[in-house]
Chains A and B, each alone.
Chain A
Amino acid sequence: MKGVIFVELLRMAEANAGEELVDEVLDSLTLESGGAYSAIGSYSCGELFSLVGAFSERLDAPAEDLQKMFGHWMFSYFVENYGEFFTDKKSAFDMLASIENEVHVEVRKLYPDAELPSFETLQTSETEMSMTYKSARPLQSFCHGLIEACLSHYGTPGVISVDDRSDGHPAHVVFLIGLEKA
C-alpha cells in the first residue's frame, strides 16, 4: 500500500479528531512502520486496516463510513495535487472511465510495483454507468466515497447502488451510478 494513503489518512484524522487522538491510536498499535509514514514509501496493507479499525473504535463510527469519508478526502487531495488529470475531463463519467487507462498508467510511472485495483466502466446511457471494482483488498467503501466525491466535484448528483459480489475475498463490487436528469 502506497505511503500517500497512510499520510493522508492520518492528516484526515488529525483534521477531524485532533492530533492527540491520532497519537493515542498510533501509540496503542504495534505497527511495523512505527506509525512513521512517508508519501513515497510503501507499507503493509494490514497497517491501514489496523488504523481504520482503531479510529472506528475510538470514534464509535462504522469502518465503512470512515472509508467512504476517506474516499471524499482523497478525491479532494487528487484535485488539489494532480489537477492536470481533471482539465480534459468534461464529466464525472469521463473521469471515472479514465481511471483504468490514464490514471493508473501515471501511477505506474511512479510506482512500477504498485498493486493497483481494476476499475472497469461501462456507460449504458447518458446518465447511467456501471463500474466494476476488483481488488485484492476490501476497500469498496473507500471507492464508494471516491465516486460520490467525483459526482459532487462535477456538480452532477446521482444515486449509487452497490452490488457486492465479493463473497468475502478478493473484493468484487459493481457500482451502478445513475445521474439525476438535468
Chain B
Amino acid sequence: MAQAGPVTRNRYERERAARQSAERLLEAKSRELFDANQRLMQQAQALELAVTERTREAEEAAQARAQAEAANDAKSSFLASMSHEIRTPLHGVLGMMSALDSTALTNEQRDLLEVMKEAGYVLRTVVNDILDLSKIEAGQLELSNAAFYLPNVLKSLKQHFGLSASAKGLTLLFDTDASCERWLFGDEFRLRQVFGNLLSNAVKFTAHGTILLKARVRQEAGGVYCLDVLVEDTGLGLSTFARDGLFKPFAQADPKIAHRFGGSGLGLTITRRICHLMGGAITLDGEEGKGTVAEFQVRLKSAEPPEARTHCADLASAEALLEARNWTILVVDDSAVNRKVVTQYLKRYKLTVLEAEDGVNAVDLWRRAKPDFILMDINMPVMGGIAAALRIREEAIERAEPRVPIVALTANAMSHQVNDYLDAGLDAHIAKPVGRAELVRVIGSFLSQRVSRC
C-alpha cells in the first residue's frame, strides 16, 4: 500500500464539497421524513376520530334500537294483557246475549239483539286479531296439530261467506276437485283464519261481480301435502300505495278504507304469519279497480280419518247425546259470569250442572257427585285447574274409579300450555270465549265415549 502523501488543495475542496452535499441531502431527507411522520400522525388521528365516531354512532344506533324494541315489547305486552282483560268480560257479554236469544223476545227486541250480537262478534274478532298480533310479535304464535277433513272446512266457509256474498248481490264460486277430499293434520282453526281473512276481504272490497276460490292439494316429497289456494275477486284491486303497506300491522290500503270498511288492519299480517308457520307463503296482486288476486300455499301432513267421535261432528247428534241421560256436568271457574254463561248454554238440556269456584271445591264435588264431565278453568285462586285435574286423576287411580273427561276452558292458551294441560291429565282444551255449539259438540264427543264404554 502506497504511503499517503500531503492532501492537495483540490482534494481537500472535493472532500469538503462532498461533506456539504451529504449534509444538505441529509437535511432534505430529514425534512421529508418529518413531513411524512406528520402526515402519518394526522392520518392516525383522523382514523382514531373516525373509529371513535363510528363506535359512538354504533352505540347510539344500538341504544336506539334497544329503546325501540323495548317500546315495541311494551306495546305488545300491553296489547296482549288489554286484549286478555277485554276478552274475559266480552266472553260474558256474548254468552249472555246468546242466552238471551233463547228466551222469549219481541221482534223488536230480537232485532236489537241481532245488532248487539253482530257488534259483539266484530269486537271479538278485533280483540282476537290484536292478541294474535301480540303473539306474532313476541314470537309466540304456535300452531296446534290435529286431524281435520278439508272438505268440511271448505263447506262451512262456503256456507258462511256464501251468505254474506249473496247479501251484497255477489256470486261466490268454489272450484275444488278430488285432490281436496282428504284428511290433513294441522291447525284447522288457523287455516280457517287464513281462508276467512281472504274471503271476508274479497266480500268487503267487492261491490259487484264474482268471488272465486280455487283450491288444489298436491303431494310433495316426504308425505307432505301442499294446499294451493287462489281467491280472486272483481273488487277495488290494489293501488301502488296499498301494495307497500299490505302486510304491515295496522296498515290499511288507504286511510279512507278504515272509515269506509272498518277493520283493524291486522288480518293480512296475521294471515301471512300463519302461512309462513305452515311452511308456505302468500301473495296479493291486482291493479287498482281491476280486482285482487290472493294466492297462498300451506304445507300439511296427511292424516288418517279418525274412527271415533265422527258421529258427533254435527251439533244434532251431540245434542241428542246430551238429552239421552241426566248427565252430571261440573263447571269449574272462579268467574261467576263465566259459570253463568256455561250454565245458560246447557240449561235447555236435562242435565245436572254443578258449579265450583276453585280447584279445592272442584275436587270435593268430584268426590261427592262423581260428574260425567268436568269443564275446568286453569287460572283460579286457592287451587288451579291443572293441580285439581292431577288430584282427581291420582285419586281415581287409587280408588279404581272410571276416568272422567276433564276439558280445560281458558282464555289465551298457547300451544305449549295446552301440552302442559294434556300432560296433567286434561283431555282437551277449549279456548274462551266458547260458543254454545262448540261447547255442546265437545261435551257430546266425550259423552259418546262414555256411552260406548257403558
The answer to whether A and B belong to the same complex is yes
Is A109 a contact of B35 with CB atoms below 8 Å?
A: yes
- Determine if A15 is an interface residue (Cβ-Cβ < 8 Å): no
Complex Cα distance, B24 from A110, in Å, reads 12
Is A39 a contact of B31 with CB atoms below 8 Å?
A: no
Is B23 a contact of A110 with CB atoms below 8 Å?
A: no
Is B23 a contact of A40 with CB atoms below 8 Å?
A: yes
Is B34 a contact of A110 with CB atoms below 8 Å?
A: yes
Q: Which of A23-71 contact B (CB under 8 A)?
A: 38-40
Picked from B19, B20, B31, the residue with its CB within 8 Å of the CB of A110 is: B31
Complex Cα distance, B19 from A39, in Å, reads 9
Is B26 a contact of A109 with CB atoms below 8 Å?
A: no
Chief secondary structure at chain B's binding surface = helix
Chain B residues within 8 Å of A39, by CB: 20, 23, 27
Chain B residues within 8 Å of A38, by CB: 19, 23
Is B20 a contact of A109 with CB atoms below 8 Å?
A: no
Which residue of chain B has the shortest Cβ distance to A106 in the bound complex?
Answer: B31
Which residue of chain B has the shortest Cβ distance to A111 in the bound complex?
Answer: B30
Is A40 a contact of B26 with CB atoms below 8 Å?
A: yes
Is A40 a contact of B27 with CB atoms below 8 Å?
A: yes
Complex Cα distance, B34 from A110, in Å, reads 7
Chain A residues within 8 Å of B23, by CB: 38-40
Complex Cα distance, B32 from A109, in Å, reads 9
Give the size category of B's interface with A.
Answer: under 10
Which residue of chain B has the shortest Cβ distance to A110 in the bound complex?
Answer: B30
Complex Cα distance, B34 from A109, in Å, reads 6
Chain A residues within 8 Å of B34, by CB: 109-110
Chain B residues within 8 Å of A109, by CB: 30-31, 34-35
Complex Cα distance, B28 from A109, in Å, reads 11
Q: Which of A90-113 contact B (CB under 8 A)?
A: 109-110
Count the A-B residue pairs with Cβ separation under 8 angstroms: how many?
17
Number of A residues contacting the other chain (C-beta, 8 Å)? 5
Q: What's the nearest-Cβ distance from chain A to residue B431, in Å?
A: 82
Q: Which of B23-47 contact A (CB under 8 A)?
A: 23, 26-27, 30-31, 34-35
Complex Cα distance, B30 from A38, in Å, reads 15
Complex Cα distance, B338 from A7, in Å, reads 110
Chain A residues within 8 Å of B19, by CB: 38
Q: What's the nearest-Cβ distance from chain A to residue B226, in Å?
A: 77
Complex Cα distance, B205 from A147, in Å, reads 96
Q: Which of A65-97 contact B (CB under 8 A)?
A: none
Which residue of chain A has the shortest Cβ distance to B30 in the bound complex?
Answer: A110
Q: What's the nearest-Cβ distance from chain A to residue B50, in Å?
A: 27
Complex Cα distance, B106 from A120, in Å, reads 110
Mask for B1-39, Cβ within 8 A of A = 1, else 0?
Answer: 000000000000000000110010011001100110000
Chain A residues within 8 Å of B35, by CB: 109
Which residue of chain A has the shortest Cβ distance to B31 in the bound complex?
Answer: A109
Complex Cα distance, B26 from A11, in Å, reads 20
Q: What's the nearest-Cβ distance from chain A to residue B16, in Å?
A: 10
Complex Cα distance, B27 from A40, in Å, reads 7
Which residue of chain B has the shortest Cβ distance to A19 in the bound complex?
Answer: B12
Q: What's the nearest-Cβ distance from chain B to residue A90, in Å?
A: 25
Complex Cα distance, B30 from A109, in Å, reads 8
Q: What's the nearest-Cβ distance from chain B to residue A135, in Å?
A: 23
Complex Cα distance, B23 from A27, in Å, reads 25
Complex Cα distance, B23 from A40, in Å, reads 6
Complex Cα distance, B30 from A39, in Å, reads 13
Chain A residues within 8 Å of B30, by CB: 40, 109-110
Complex Cα distance, B212 from A50, in Å, reads 114
Chain B residues within 8 Å of A110, by CB: 27, 30-31, 34
Complex Cα distance, B152 from A29, in Å, reads 122
Which residue of chain A has the shortest Cβ distance to B38 in the bound complex?
Answer: A109
Which residue of chain A has the shortest Cβ distance to B20 in the bound complex?
Answer: A39
Complex Cα distance, B20 from A110, in Å, reads 16
Complex Cα distance, B33 from A110, in Å, reads 9
Q: What's the nearest-Cβ distance from chain B to residue A119, in Å?
A: 22
Complex Cα distance, B179 from A54, in Å, reads 121
Chain A residues within 8 Å of B31, by CB: 109-110
Chain A residues within 8 Å of B26, by CB: 40
Which residue of chain B has the shortest Cβ distance to A108 in the bound complex?
Answer: B34
Q: What's the nearest-Cβ distance from chain A to residue B53, in Å?
A: 30
Complex Cα distance, B30 from A30, in Å, reads 31
Complex Cα distance, B23 from A38, in Å, reads 7
Complex Cα distance, B27 from A181, in Å, reads 40
Complex Cα distance, B370 from A18, in Å, reads 137
Known A-B contacts: A40-B27, A109-B34, A110-B27. Give 8 more (CB < 8 A): A38-B23, A39-B20, A39-B23, A39-B27, A40-B26, A40-B30, A109-B30, A109-B35
**What are 9 sample pairs from A and B whose C-beta atoms fall under 8 A apart?**
A38-B19, A38-B23, A39-B20, A39-B27, A40-B23, A109-B30, A109-B34, A109-B35, A110-B31
Residues of B participating in the A interface, judged by any CB pair closer than 8 Å: 19-20, 23, 26-27, 30-31, 34-35
Shortest 5 CB-CB distances between A and B: which pairs?
Answer: A109-B34, A39-B23, A40-B23, A110-B30, A40-B26
